[in-house]
């Protein structure tokens, strides 16, 4: 199994590694929408949401998504869709009002984090990502599962490319890097509500979403009717 590059193919286009702040500034309207949909205080957003957004942006940079968009844009859109559907939903389903109110913010944050992170290992497995230094020296390939801070934190790296690969994806390692990307305030928020944290962890490591939240991730597909949906 190898990177799919023909002998006559031109050298891959190199993309400069950008600061997370620059990547998010280009997507200011998407970030503003997420801030609105989160429904939390400015202090809570700054402590838990914004650091995860920055960490995720630095991690994936402008790597492509399977659908042709960037992975960053696709995951921001998924987060907006999930948070939009979360509004008005009682979590966990059937909970008493006191429990639902107490856990509401933690559920919203768990859904936001899952929308960004779930299946990240699988999404990146389709790409080989060679790296270069600022002076053009080849640095080998990025190994995201062993460099959990992402592309923006690889020592000496200044540019990258995304090349399709037919190497087998292996196990989904997303859970191994989630702790590196989630800020301490976000992790503490989840661990203060064990029932929420348990569902979040199951969703992160399992192929199927837990039934408590599966409907919030369901979106219509282009080839399906209006009544059909799939979980993403």
Full set of structural domains in the chain with CATH: 15-231 (1.10.3210.40)
Strands annotated E in the chain = 15-16, 127-128, 130-132, 138-141, 159-160, 163-164, 218-219, 230-231
pLDDT for 68 beyond 90:
no
117, two tokens? 């992170």
With a pLDDT cut of 70, the percent of the chain lying above it is: 89
pLDDT for 80 beyond 50:
yes
Least confident of 59-68, 153-162, 170-179: 170-179
With a pLDDT cut of 90, the percent of the chain lying above it is: 66
Least confident of 75-84, 136-145, 201-210, 211-220: 211-220
Least confident of 9-13, 37-41, 126-130, 182-186: 9-13
Rounded to two decimals, the pTM is: 0.88
pLDDT for 220 beyond 90:
no
| Confidence at residue 12, expressed as pLDDT on a 0 to 100 scale | 77
Asked if residue 107 lies in contact with residue 86, where contact means CB atoms within 8 angstroms, the answer is yes
| Confidence at residue 219, expressed as pLDDT on a 0 to 100 scale | 66
Q: How far apart are CA 220 and CA 201, in angstroms?
A: 25
Least confident of 142-146, 152-156, 213-217: 142-146
Q: How far apart are CA 101 and CA 92, in angstroms?
A: 11
Q: How far apart are CA 112 and CA 108, in angstroms?
A: 6
pLDDT for 226 beyond 50:
no
């Amino acid at each position: 199994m190898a990177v799919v590059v023909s002998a006559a193919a031109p050298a891959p286009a190199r993309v400069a590694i950008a600061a997370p702040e620059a990547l998010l500034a280009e997507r200011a309207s998407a970030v503003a929408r997420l801030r609105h949909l989160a429904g939390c205080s400015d202090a809570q957003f700054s402590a838990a949401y914004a650091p995860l957004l920055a960490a995720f942006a630095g991690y994936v940079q402008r790597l492509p998504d399977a659908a042709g968009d960037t992975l960053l844009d696709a995951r921001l859109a998924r987060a907006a869709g999930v948070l939009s559907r979360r509004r008005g939903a009682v979590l966990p389903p059937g909970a008493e009002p006191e429990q639902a109110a107490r856990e509401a913010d933690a559920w919203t944050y768990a859904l936001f984090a899952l929308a960004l992170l779930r299946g990240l290992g699988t999404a990146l497995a389709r790409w080989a990502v060679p790296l270069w230094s600022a002076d053009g020296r080849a640095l080998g390939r990025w190994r995201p599962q062993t460099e959990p801070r992402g592309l923006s934190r690889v020592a000496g790296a200044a540019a990258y490319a995304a090349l399709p690969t037919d190497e087998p994806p292996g196990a989904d390692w997303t859970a191994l890097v989630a702790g590196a990307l989630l800020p301490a305030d976000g992790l503490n928020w989840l661990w203060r509500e064990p029932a929420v944290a348990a569902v979040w962890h199951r969703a992160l490591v399992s192929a199927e979403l837990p039934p408590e939240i599966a409907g919030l991730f369901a979106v219509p597909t282009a080839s399906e009717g209006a009544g059909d949906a799939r979980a993403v």
